[in-house]
A and B are shown apart, each in its own frame.
Chain A
Amino acid sequence: MNRRLALRWLGLGAAAPLVALSRRAAAQGTQEPEAQGLYDPFRVGRPQNRITDYENDPFIVGIETRIRCVCGCNLDVYTCRTTDFTCTTSPAMHREVVQLVEGGKTAQEILDTFIAEHGEMVLMAPKKEGFNLLAYFLPGTAVVMVGGILLWFLWKGRERAVAVQAAERVDLSGLSSEDRKRLEAELENLES
């Protein structure tokens, strides 16, 4: 074996483990990654469940935004379960919604189920019936009524102002056409 051949074999021998390592690394790269354990799992709060299609289902989310979480946080179930990760009430309410959807209930039936369990307070907005109508219609009615009174005053005031203007009218008959044009232009532009 000459010296050149010996060096070639030596080079191949050194490269072989590297090639094997790189192939192994490439093979590992295509495998499903395994989640490592956290150094201290307690720092991240309550363990979470894997997300399923239900969590992102617009129908379920739509219902959950209409139901209040009863933990006292003031948020709807969807917002609470995706925000307040210490709350255990909203995930439980979410599971109940999922169960009811799986059971073939309609949105209204699901809402009625929650009302039966927790009372009307569980809805994020009061039902439009009975005493609650006052909540919905009083502000609008008040604005319209006050607006009506305002219009009435406007009309009354206008009549009075027209009468005053008539009494104080200035005779502009002697005005030249140039002056009249300037006067009209300026009155037009009389702003603050």
Chain B
Amino acid sequence: MTILGQLALWIALLVSAWGTFVGFYGGLTRRRELIASARRATYVLCGLAMVAAAGLLVAILKHDFNVAYVASYTSRDLPTVYLLSAFYGGQSGSMLFWVLVLSIFASLAQWLTSRKYEYLLPFVAGVTSAVTLFFVATMLFSANPFARLAFTPADGQGLNPQLQNPGMVVHPPMLYLGYISITIPFAFAVAALMSRRLDTGWLHAIRKWTIVSWLFLSIGITLGMWWAYVELGWGGYWAWDPVENASFLPWLTMTAFLHSVMIQEKRGMLKKWNMVLISLSFFLSIFGTFITRSGIISSVHSFAQSSVGYYFLGGLIALVLGMAWLLYTRLPMLESESHLESMVSREASFLFNNLILVGIAFSVLWGTIFPVISEVVRGHQVTVGPPFFNQVNIPLGLALLALTGIGPLIAWRKASVGNLRRQFAVPVALGGIAAVVVTAIGMGHFYAILTISLAVFVTATILQEFVRGVGARHRLHGENVAQALVRLVGRNRRRYGGYVVHLGIVTYFVAFTGQAFKVDREASLKPGDSVEVASPWGHTYTFTHLGVSQYDQLNRLVSAASVEVAKDGKRVGVMSSEKRQHFTCEVPTRPCPDQMRRKSFEPSTEAGIRSDLQEDIYIVYAGSVEGTEEAVYRFTINPLVWWLWYGGFVLVAGGVITLWPGTTVRATRQGDTQGGYAAQIVESKGA
């Protein structure tokens, strides 16, 4: 099967080269047979990628340790679910996964795109084939997943224990889906430029793709935070690590694009900007892969490093230059159809939103690469860690939060004083009251107070929109509240789904404030010893060490330290934190005899976590004193963490509402019929 997989990759190399050529050439010459061939090449590539992926999967599941990749990332004792995740756990496997997903997305784009936009599809096939060509070539010439060893080891080295976590089964694929799916909107952007059809057609064609990409990125990033929180054991979920930043960058530019594209649809403005944003998002997704793979910037998330990163750098430079040239030659066709009329308008608000999002993206990128720049310019590296990123990004993030409330409610073109008063009087008042209340109850952290105040303001603007919409339907159609709510959202999913997404974002911000009040306490406890930790909410937790038990489990030796937890004197329950020593067996037998066990990796730590709406209790067993049951613990009280995961669910729900198929009210452009009395009056008078 691996031979078939290898063969499939070589054929894919030829087919993707052909697809690239006929895609672009057929699109430019409009030759039907070439266009059809480009489309067929896309489907064939999908089939070949599936064969190659099946080849690697079979090798992994059959423990074919003669395949270097299988020997490096799996072992006989690895649970099946992690055998599956080992498929993308290493360098070449993740690239094959990339090719597989890209080829599926490319085929779906060819298959599902409305015939109205058929003129774009050959170029889309050209771009997706070119990207596939790049990945397949990199795999075949630098990181071949089917490369064989000169001998066959009895067992593999196993998967890194930190990757043996349920979060890692879903987090990387989600992030990859996000990264990879950006290729499709980018391909349509290139297609629009090459075909010189720069109306809003390409934007309509990619609308769902952009939301899908953004949603996958959001889910991937949130799952990554969850994985870091439960697995890495440091009690936080975001450390501004280069690899975390690399996933955040395309999310920021995609978010900016999702907003600015509305201005192009509505007013025919920001055409160049939108091209830049979607290109930037694609480039940043490649840049993220470059950072993860090259090891040029050290990161706790880099589990695979090799020279492949430099292939990505080369590809990235070629892409940027090619796109810059294409954009330059099409500049005259990308002139705005209208202009901003006021700084107090929705367009201006979205523009400022874009400015801040791109500003944050720039500051994150700048901070990520500054150590390298410093080394090049001054000859020595500096460290750019969380203190820098927090200092630079928190004010920008709060400005963005404020715009989340302002943008959707302010009028298009020009907002009057009446509009502002009507939309913002109540939310501003509620935000102000929230600031006073949290200050009065003793929250002494400026940014936290501001965040809560803005969160209340934004939530109020969103709820106000729902209340007004439901009220209007109730009055006009006599619907009850539930009916009115469902129909209101159903009739304009993009708008109300967007509001729900905003609610999710607000929830994230509320969760972030908790980090300002995190409490840590270290203690070494003999069995029966207790330690007290005060939480920021005023509770007192008592942790009593019960002992350490050791047992075998799956492919690891577990040492579990347990504590009894009491909150304000009332028993809460027993929590455990584990040390896991993973092993591989020198002989292929189960259970593995003690003398045949070989330690693989250093012992990993599993935190004990108990969540409620107020705070998380986070316990880490650091180890033991002099080989006894006297355990060294770190106890962390982590406020509001649960809200982060809850915000993730809300955000996904909003995204799904936006994506849900059905009739939606299409955004209308100035000059099109906007309906309504005002338009009729102006029309009749004008006539």
Question: Which B positions have Cβ atoms within 8 angstroms of A?
Answer: 232-235, 239, 241, 262, 266, 298-300, 338-343, 346, 348, 351-352, 355-356, 358-359, 362-363, 366-367, 370, 374, 377-378, 380-388, 391-392, 396, 408, 411-412, 416, 418-419, 422, 495, 520-524, 526-529, 547-548, 550, 557-559, 579, 581, 602-603, 605, 620-630, 632, 634, 667, 674, 676-678, 681-682, 685-686
Q: What is the chain B residue whose CB lies nearest that of A61?
A: B520
Pick the interface stretch among A19-27, A99-107, A137-145. A137-145
Q: What is the chain B residue whose CB lies nearest that of A66?
A: B387
- Given A51-B524, A135-B366, A187-B678, also A123-B627 (CB < 8 A): no
Chain A interface size, as a band, is 35 or more
In the complex the two chains form, what is the Cα distance from A85 to B623 in whole Å?
8
Q: Are B550 and A38 in contact (CB under 8 A)?
A: yes
What is the minimal beta-carbon distance from A59 to any residue of chain B, in angstroms?
Answer: 14
Using Cβ atoms and an 8 Å threshold, which residues of chain B touch A39? 550
Interface hits, A111-145 → B, CB 8 Å: 119-126, 131-132, 135-136, 138-140, 142-143
- Given A35-B526, A47-B625, A146-B359, also A72-B298 (CB < 8 A): yes
Q: Are B392 and A188 in contact (CB under 8 A)?
A: no
Interface hits, A17-53 → B, CB 8 Å: 32-51
In the complex the two chains form, what is the Cα distance from A162 to B547 in whole Å?
77
In the complex the two chains form, what is the Cα distance from A48 to B622 in whole Å?
7
Q: Are B495 and A192 in contact (CB under 8 A)?
A: yes
From B241, B338, B603, give the contact of A45 (CB < 8 A).
B603
Using Cβ atoms and an 8 Å threshold, which residues of chain A touch B378? 131
Using Cβ atoms and an 8 Å threshold, which residues of chain A touch B383? 68, 121-126
13 A-B pairs with CB atoms under 8 Å apart are: A43-B579, A45-B581, A50-B524, A51-B523, A74-B241, A74-B299, A82-B234, A125-B383, A136-B388, A138-B366, A147-B352, A161-B341, A168-B686
Using Cβ atoms and an 8 Å threshold, which residues of chain B touch A153? 340
In the complex the two chains form, what is the Cα distance from A125 to B622 in whole Å?
27
In the complex the two chains form, what is the Cα distance from A86 to B383 in whole Å?
22
Q: Are B685 and A35 in contact (CB under 8 A)?
A: no
From A33, A40, A179, give the contact of B526 (CB < 8 A).
A33
8 cross-chain pairs, A with B, having the tightest CB-CB distances, nearest first: A157-B339, A41-B627, A139-B363, A143-B359, A124-B385, A35-B628, A35-B630, A48-B623
Please tell me if A182 contacts chain B, counting CB pairs below 8 Å: yes
Q: Are A43 and B581 in contact (CB under 8 A)?
A: yes
Q: Are B396 and A143 in contact (CB under 8 A)?
A: yes
In the complex the two chains form, what is the Cα distance from A48 to B603 in whole Å?
14
Q: Are A83 and B620 in contact (CB under 8 A)?
A: yes
Main SS at interface, chain B: mixed
From A125, A174, A186, give the contact of B387 (CB < 8 A).
A125
Using Cβ atoms and an 8 Å threshold, which residues of chain A touch B523? 51
Q: What is the chain B residue whose CB lies nearest that of A140?
A: B392
Q: Are A48 and B676 in contact (CB under 8 A)?
A: no
From B346, B348, B630, B676, give the contact of A186 (CB < 8 A).
B676
Question: Using an 8 Å CB-CB cutoff, how does the interface string of A152-175 with B read, 1 for contact, 0 for none?
Answer: 011011101110010010111011
Q: What is the chain A residue whose CB lies nearest that of B393?
A: A139
What is the minimal beta-carbon distance from B327 to any residue of chain A, in angstroms?
Answer: 18
Using Cβ atoms and an 8 Å threshold, which residues of chain B touch A40? 550, 557, 559
In the complex the two chains form, what is the Cα distance from A41 to B550 in whole Å?
10
Using Cβ atoms and an 8 Å threshold, which residues of chain B touch A79? 234
In the complex the two chains form, what is the Cα distance from A66 to B232 in whole Å?
20
Using Cβ atoms and an 8 Å threshold, which residues of chain B touch A122? 383
Q: Are A48 and B625 in contact (CB under 8 A)?
A: yes
Q: Are A170 and B685 in contact (CB under 8 A)?
A: yes
Q: Are B524 and A188 in contact (CB under 8 A)?
A: no
In the complex the two chains form, what is the Cα distance from A138 to B364 in whole Å?
11
Using Cβ atoms and an 8 Å threshold, which residues of chain B touch A158? 339-343
Q: Are B677 and A47 in contact (CB under 8 A)?
A: no
Using Cβ atoms and an 8 Å threshold, which residues of chain B touch A132? 374, 382
In the complex the two chains form, what is the Cα distance from A79 to B381 in whole Å?
21
Please tell me if A151 contacts chain B, counting CB pairs below 8 Å: yes
In the complex the two chains form, what is the Cα distance from A179 to B412 in whole Å?
22
Q: Are B359 and A183 in contact (CB under 8 A)?
A: no
Q: Are B527 and A136 in contact (CB under 8 A)?
A: no
What is the minimal beta-carbon distance from B556 to any residue of chain A, in angstroms?
Answer: 9
Q: Are B628 and A36 in contact (CB under 8 A)?
A: yes
Q: Are A157 and B341 in contact (CB under 8 A)?
A: yes
In the complex the two chains form, what is the Cα distance from A56 to B635 in whole Å?
11
In the complex the two chains form, what is the Cα distance from A162 to B341 in whole Å?
7
Q: Are A186 and B628 in contact (CB under 8 A)?
A: no
Interface centre among A44, A75, A83, A192 (most CB of B within 10 A): A44
From A35, A161, A175, give the contact of B527 (CB < 8 A).
A35
Please name 6 further chain A to chain B contacts, defined as beta carbons within 8 Å, in addition to the given A43-B557, A124-B386, sorted by A numbering. Answer: A35-B527, A37-B627, A40-B550, A44-B548, A125-B384, A158-B339
In the complex the two chains form, what is the Cα distance from A186 to B677 in whole Å?
7
Interface centre among B239, B382, B528, B676 (most CB of A within 10 A): B382
In the complex the two chains form, what is the Cα distance from A120 to B381 in whole Å?
8
